[in-house]
């Protein structure tokens, strides 16, 4: 286990993961990002208070002020908890989920 503090940054392929703190469980291939978490690739951006990322499976679990923005779909989904599987392209958001399509244009909101 490795504790990282202050402007933490990881990179895996086109995926950029940043936060203020992180705990890296090297043998498990898992990193827990804490405080001001931002994960970004070429198609989307995820922000949250806390994110657990598994490097081996590509699965992400996010908690607290979760916001996922899809650049391609021009959509934003937010809630208290989110799960994302990069391999399966699967997203689930719970805890007062809110979907906004084309958020910059103010088009549609679904609760």
Residue 87 has a pLDDT of: 81
Give the predicted TM-score (pTM) of the model.
Answer: 0.84
Low-confidence ranges of the chain (pLDDT < 70): 103-111
Nearest CA-CA partner of 53 in 18, 104, 96, 4: 18
pLDDT tens-digit series, residues 78-104: 999 999 887 888 889 999 999 988 756
- DSSP assignments along 81-96, one per residue: EEEEETTTTEEEEESS
How much is the pLDDT for 71? 86
């Amino acid at each position: 286990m490795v504790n990282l503090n202050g402007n933490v940054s990881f990179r895996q392929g086109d995926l950029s993961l940043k936060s203020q703190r992180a705990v890296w469980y090297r043998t498990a291939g898992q990193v827990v990002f804490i405080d001001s978490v931002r994960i970004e690739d070429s198609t989307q951006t995820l922000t949250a208070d806390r994110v657990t990322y598994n490097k081996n499976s590509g699965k992400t679990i996010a908690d607290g002020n979760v916001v996922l923005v899809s650049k391609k779909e021009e959509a934003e989904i937010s809630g208290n908890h989110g799960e994302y599987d990069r391999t399966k392209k699967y997203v689930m958001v719970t805890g007062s989920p809110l979907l906004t399509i084309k958020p910059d244009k103010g088009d549609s909101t679904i609760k």
